Amino acid sequence: MPDTLEIRFPAAGVEAELAVTEATIRATDLRQFPVGGEPLATFDPGFMNTAVCHSSITYIDGDAGVLEYRGYPIAELAEKSTYLEVAYLLLNGELPTAAQLQEWELLITEHRMLPDKLKTVLAGFPYDAHPMTILMASVAAFFSFYPDAQNFEDKSARDLNIARLIAKMPTLAAFAYRKGKAKPYINPDDKYGYCHNFLAMLFKQNERRYEADPRLIRAMEVLFILHADHEQNCSTNAVRSVASSGNDLFTSCSAGIGALHGPLHGGANEAVLRMLREIGTVERVPEFIEGVKAGKARMMGFGHRVYKNYDPRAKIIKKSVEDVFEVTGVNPLLKVAQELEKYGLTDEYFVKRRLYPNVDFYSGLIYEALGFPPEMFTVLFAVPRTSGWAAQYQEFITDPEQKIMRPKQIYTGHRTRAYVPMEERA
Ligand code: CMC
């Protein structure tokens, strides 16, 4: 027997049984209850308790601190996979065979170059433009170079444009970085894998061949795997929402980059570093914590809408911090972060609200140790998140249940008023 929710609404003299499927009721079933002439609806700012789609890409159990991509636990993927293998998994639902992976890596390698004219777009930005702004505008501009992305119903056109975007993101990110440093761009090198090539495009100087330390390449792979997808977060919702009006992959992902940039989402890693610098020393941590408790500041890198337990990604990043510091030397701000975490895990304010370190708490320390300025941190989140956005985009546009996104509102303004001529206005 199917589960039902019995609803009685005496004011309208209506009683009904709503079907409960997959632990949800259909919001449109509430329309049968008229309230003052309006059909009953739900009010849910921030989508606190509203499912907007069926998805088989990423599973999160926030209370238990579980994260899985296509059913594979994140810790195992971070230990055993490469980023491109994980991107393939997100997009196709299964881990690739050796032959499939080789073909996929080759496809991505083939598409790493940026269209030459994009360099004129990049040249138009001021030298100190935020690299996320450059990324967002350039990804939107891709659509003018690859207009076949509009044929998203055609699987081969869709696959090609997904590969183009995943392939070009590191190149774009590296160019944005080097532009800010007034350094010449380094083109991709086919001899390197995805993460090694990214490091080379970022950091190559005058040496004939750039060889990154294998520990740094692995740390990059791990960070990229951890950031690849995170189900219906703010930026994924932006991607799906923009796709819902019939947009191509590039326009939709450009919106995702904009959403990711905010300090409450991907921009938190940049905000964490700025916070750590501002605190500066372990001795100043108690004073900062008191400020947070008094509502004067937020502890950036702490708290999550879904995780009410330690973010499993933060646990893995903590281990990568040690690996990277072995190569780069220890970032002195690590001590400040560890002291903040100690308070966060024991102080009643944080414990009561179930606020734990999230993915952004330690990632900034790694990025800084690698020599990135804080404004690059969110770019380093956006590059790997592209595979998640692409998988979510693909799922959205092939889902017959989906419609143009169009939430309701509760109108609180004036109703039909007489127009006031200018001379009569106070
Ligand atoms: N520092 C201090 N207090 C906090 C924090 C924090 N970082 N996060 C939440 N709270 C408090 C908040 O003030 C509220 O307290 P009260 O009940 O007394 O009003 C309570 O905890 C619930 O917070 P909320 O803002 O209603 O929770 P939310 O689910 O809407 O927000 C969040 C989630 C991630 C935006 C929030 O925790 C936050 O602002 N964290 C800091 C920014 C951050 O690290 N963001 C990265 C998220 S992980 C990466 C990603 O996926 O984007």
User: Cα–Cα distance between 301 and 265 in angstroms, integer?
Assistant: 10
| Both structure tokens of 1 | 């027997």
Pocket residue to mutate for ligand 1, from 58, 236, 358, 363, most atoms within 8 A of Cβ = 358
Atom of ligand 1 nearest to the CA of 353: 21
- The whole-model pTM stands at 0.93
* Residue 159 confidence (pLDDT): 98
Q: Are residues 266 and 297 in the same domain?
A: yes
C-alpha torsion angle, residues 97, 102, 104, 108 (rounded to 10)? 160
Q: Are residues 158 and 251 in the same domain?
A: yes
Domain containing residue 35:
1-51
pLDDT, tens digit, for every residue of 255-297? 999 999 999 999 899 899 999 999 999 999 999 999 999 999 9
Domain assignment of residue 411, yes or no: no
Select, from the ranges 30-34, 150-154, 318-322, the one with the highest average predicted confidence (pLDDT): 150-154
Q: Are residues 305 and 366 in the same domain?
A: yes
3-state DSSP call for residue 18?
strand
89 pLDDT above the threshold of 80: yes
Count: domains in the chain = 2
Q: Are residues 340 and 375 in the same domain?
A: yes
Domain assignment of residue 418, yes or no: no
Mean pLDDT of 191-201: 96
| Both structure tokens of 107 | 């496809």
Q: Are residues 139 and 17 in the same domain?
A: no
Distance 207 CA to ligand 1 centre (A): 45
Q: Are residues 11 and 86 in the same domain?
A: no
User: Cα–Cα distance between 7 and 30 in angstroms, integer?
Assistant: 9
pLDDT, tens digit, for every residue of 370-418? 888 889 999 999 999 999 999 999 999 999 999 999 999 999 999 999 9
The CATH number assigned to the domain holding 85 equals 1.10.580.10
* Residue 11 confidence (pLDDT): 81
Pocket residue to mutate for ligand 1, from 47, 302, 311, most atoms within 8 A of Cβ = 302
Domain assignment of residue 414, yes or no: no
Domain assignment of residue 426, yes or no: no
Closest residue by CA, ligand 1 atom 3: 298
Measuring CA to CA, which residue among 296, 294, 286 is closest to residue 344? 286
Confidence band for 2, pLDDT divided at 50, 70 and 90: confident
In sequence order, what are the residues at sequence separation of 6 or more whose Cβ sits closer than 8 angstroms to the Cβ of residue 179?
122, 125, 127, 129, 131, 134, 185
Domain assignment of residue 117, yes or no: yes
Domain assignment of residue 416, yes or no: no
Q: Are residues 142 and 204 in the same domain?
A: yes
